[in-house]
Structure 1
Amino acid sequence: MSPNISSSCNAPLKASAHDTNLVDILFTSALDGEYVRDQISGTFAGYTPKQDSGLATPTSSDDTPSQISESKLVELQGREHRAILAAERDGNLQGAISQLSQIIQDCPSYASAYNNRAQALRLDGADPSAVLTDLDSAIRYAQDDKTLGQAYTQKGIVLKAIEADQDDVFNCFAQGAKCGNEVARLAMAKENPYAKMCGKIVSEAMRQLRTASSPKS
């Protein structure tokens, strides 16, 4: 069973007020886990066994989509769903991480499990390098736009949190936006170096105008 790849990567999206608030939190204060929690919750919104699996065709693995039966995919998705519930409903992050790790061990090319484990690790305060390793694996194996967009967006957030190179942060958000992730599109606009430069110029001009119009003592 081959996963479906959306053909609407470049379609315009309307960002919700919630998405806008999340980006404001991201760019005006330290990331406190709200976005990650929201993303974990959204991963299985409207869950059905027929949803995109996020599996890819790795070059050196026996677990390629063509070799995984439909019943196996349904089993993996169900197990992943239970792991997510352990994190979001029960607050059992360690249990969720353990379950997701077992899924990855059973099927190393199951991209969505890497993405969700990265999110759970982030919430659990894990070292950013471990989170980034999982996100790189999710990006490597992902075939559906949703999983790929989430992985790139999450990677951009982690890189920004550790004050990585601005170009790397921007490129991650750009890739997430290309795959239709609304938060990535908003974040990309705020992280754009040209927009930042223009914003600084405007801010400085406004400061000078306010100074010039202030009554002299």
Structure 2
Amino acid sequence: MEAANTIKQQGLSSRDSKLVDILFSSAVDGEYIRDQITGTYQPYTNTEPSTQSEFQEIDQSTLDLLKARERKAVGMAEKGSIQDAVNELSKIIDDCPHYASAYNNRAQAKRLLRPGASDNDVLGDLDMAIKYADPSGSDGILGQAYTQKGIVYRDMGDQDAAFFCFSQGASHGNEVAKMAAPKENPYAKLCGKIVSDAMKQLRNPTGQQ
């Protein structure tokens, strides 16, 4: 705590000093709790609507056919025929509305179509992917869908929702989400700025250039 006390002597506000105390006393472990930071009890609230799993097993012969059609659609997208890919994935969904992977891939294709597809349209597909995904996460779809949602929310400027979705993606094993979640933690960003400012004051307490 000596470092924290030294920083407080440099004229930080009481709120900033509280943040520094939390950081140097290791009171924060993985999450930044608002009542510790601001002095008021206001825990992080997930604003994402909960999605009830409606996973349904698909028989293997049907699944093989769906995957073959899906690979064809992905190939279209890779060749730049994005709208054709979206159309093909839509046909797959029409034929098997509870096939989660098609929603996930259609969302990705729609993201490539922008501004042709709205954020809400993309998020709607991702919600359906999560709804119908294997709850065990063994196929990776939950991790992919939550990670895509995190990217969309981040681009929309919704930091809290992005952090929540990246955290969910990471919990389902998605490597991109594991890297993104710490960077999107709003409290980590806040604390990082406070510590950075405090270090600047330590290096240059008089504010001289």
Coarse TM-score class (shorter-chain normalised): 0.5 to 0.7
Measure how far apart 1:215 and its partner are.
6.2
Alignment of 1:22-41 (within 5 A): none
Q: In the aligned structure 1, how far is the partner of 2:203 from the partner of 2:68?
A: 59
Is 2:125 the partner of 1:134? yes
Q: Is the 8 A contact 1:117 1:134 kept in 2?
A: yes
Alignment of 1:133-152 (within 5 A): 133-143=124-134, 144-145=137-138, 146-152=140-146
How many residue pairs get aligned? The number is 153
Relative to structure 1, the CA distance from residue 200 to residue 214 in structure 2 (aligned partners, 3 Å threshold; closer, same or farther) is closer
Q: Which has the higher contact order (CA 8 A, sep 6+)?
A: 1
Aligned equivalents of 1:163, 1:97: Cα separation in 2: 26
Runs of 4+ in 1 over 2 A off after TM superposition: 56-59, 206-216
Q: Secondary structure at the match of 2:54?
A: coil
**Superposition map of 1:36-55 within 5 A:** none
CA contact 2:53–2:131 (8 Å) conserved in 1: no
TM-score by length of 2: 0.67
Change (3 A) 1:162 1:92: same
**Are 1:162 and 2:156 matched, yes or no?**
yes
- Gaps of at least 5 residues in structure 1 are 1-55
Kindly indicate whether residue 78 of structure 2 is the aligned counterpart of residue 97 of structure 1. Answer: no
Q: Does the Cα contact within 8 Å between 1:57 and 1:109 map onto a contact in 2?
A: no
The CA RMSD measured in Å over matched residues stands at: 2.1
Please say if 1:192 is aligned against 2:181: no
Matched with 1:3 is: none
Structure 1 residues 150, 107: closer, same or farther in 2, change over 3 A? same
Specify every segment of 5 or more residues in structure 2 that has no aligned partner in the other structure, as ranges: 1-51
2:153 and 2:70 map into 1 onto residues whose CA distance is: 26
The match for 2:59 among 69, 75, 84 is: 69
**What are the superposed Cα offsets for residues 27-63 of structure 1, whole Å, 9 maximum, x if unpaired?**
xxxxxxxxxxxxxxxxxxxxxxxxxxxxx9738xxxx
2:167 is aligned to 174
Q: Is the 8 A contact 1:87 1:120 kept in 2?
A: yes
Report the residue type matching 1:132 in the other structure: L
Q: By how many angstroms is 1:177 displaced?
A: 0.4
Residues 111, 139 of structure 1: 8 Å contact kept? yes
Q: Distance in 1 between matches of 2:182 and 2:60?
A: 40
Aligned-partner Cα distance in 1 for 2:178–2:60: 34
Amino-acid identity (%): 56
Task: Select the residue among 154, 173, 197 that pairs with 1:204.
Answer: 197
TM-score under structure 1 length normalisation = 0.65
- What's the offset of the Cα at 1:207? 3.0
The alpha-carbon deviation at position 193 of structure 1 amounts to 2.7
Distance 1:170 1:187 in 2: 8
Q: How far apart, CA to CA, are the structure 2 residues paired with 1:73 and 1:136?
A: 21
CA distance in 2, matches of 1:111, 1:177: 19
Measure, in 2, the Cα distance between the counterparts of 1:81 and 1:160: 28
Q: Is the 1:174–1:188 Cα contact (8 Å) retained in structure 2?
A: yes
Q: Mark the structure with the bigger radius of gyration.
A: 2
Q: Aligned pair 1:106/2:100, yes or no?
A: no
